[in-house]
Amino acid sequence: MKTPISKPLPLAGVRVLDVSQVMAGPYCCMLLADLGADVIKIEPPGTGDQTRGAMGFKMKGSDSMGFLNMNRNKRSVTLNLKTEAGKKVFFELVKTADILVENYRPGVMKKLGIDYPSLKDINPGLVYASISGFGQTGPWADRPGFDLMAQAMSGVMSVTGYPDGPPVKAGVPVADIGCALFAVYGILSAYIGKTKSGEGQFIDASLFDSALAFSIWDTAQYWGTGVEPYKLGTANHMSAPYQAMKASDGYFVMGATNQKLWKLLCDKINRPELFEDSLFRTNPLRLANRLILAAELEKTFITKTSEEWVDLLLAAGIPAGPINTYPQAFDSEHGQHRQMRMEIDHPIEGKVPNIGFAVKMMGTPQQVSRHPPLLGEHTNEVLKELGIAGQELKALQDGGAFAA
């Protein structure tokens, strides 16, 4: 998928070294690439990013669909950073870079001699972002970090699911994706600062911090009342009714989050007595009696289909919606209009579906200019740009720079 570019993209001319694997780091770097940055993905020879071989099903080639959805618009270079020859090439790349993103466990980059203090001497303007499970410092810093652990240890899982049910994680990787987004925020802020000061800086982003940062409403309740947040299923601690409701054919979601909407709801479902009920007169009362309220409302909602209720409530100005599957969301009229599924031409897979751009930039719309790279696809191209050829290249090859 290529579209004509009428204006330079915002990050055109910015070089990013993506020294990361799996999700948070690669996704962060893909967002930068979508905005025009020249992202060079540094991968271990032979295996590459672990995500290339992840997931329980095979594609035509060796790369997984997960990898193909987190690595578009990048170039791939294979380097063995455990060899002096590999590091020599890497240092030459660092000299040309504006931003570096890595997500190895704290201490690994220092052991390899490519941590921020080491690279700052080579490139004082480098913006260096480290993504980890629990941050670069602190009692948990050395722990391996994955989304599941971050959700559990940040408290996210303590409020996910139903009160009497077993532990449940959020269905999407909120810690991974959240950390990628917060990292982009830090990276771009530091880059803007660099354009004024000429100096780069170190950015410490963690899955734990990012997951905990999403706890605004739950934490506000806890700090304001002293009551520890607890599981509520699809409801929340701030207003009621605001949750999934059962109709005759299944569930839908709705929310009457203020007194005006509550009155309107009672009128539209022909239950004016609920508005006068002493259990439901105010939002605090409705929250305190949420289960009773839901049961009362479902006595009425069970009389029509979910689609009928969604249409009726929306027509009255009351927020409501169906509970879609992912295919239904992508295939919906709105999902198609928002271009949330796009196809990318790939040399092995043919047409590869990708999730569309989540933010639409009207003046300089994001572009797909490169397919997700094959492992090491651009090694020779990048070496040529660095002026590495002839005897120098042979010496690097003999030194194991590009070998597993």
The residues carrying an active-site annotation are: 176
Nearest alpha carbon to residue 70 among 122, 32, 44, 16 = 32
Q: Which amino acid is at 97?
A: A
Q: What's the CA gap between 393 and 78, in Å, rounded?
A: 14
Strand partners, 19: 102
End-to-end CA distance of the chain: 33
CA distance 18 to 184: 13
User: Which neighbouring-strand residues pair with 322?
Assistant: 252
Dihedral sign computed on CA atoms, order 133, 138, 143, 149: negative
Cβ atoms of 394 and 402 closer than 8 Å: no
Q: Dmax over Cα atoms in the chain, in whole Å?
A: 88
The DSSP call for residue 244 is E
Location of structure tokens 């001319």 = 13
User: In what side-by-side order are the strands of the sheet with 320-322?
Assistant: 242-247, 250-255, 320-322
233 backbone dihedrals φ, ψ, rounded to 5°:
65, -120
CA distance 299 to 118: 67
* Dihedral over Cα of 123, 369, 360, 102: its sign: negative
Q: What angle do CA 321, 325, 327 make, to 5 degrees?
A: 120
3-state secondary structure of 39: strand
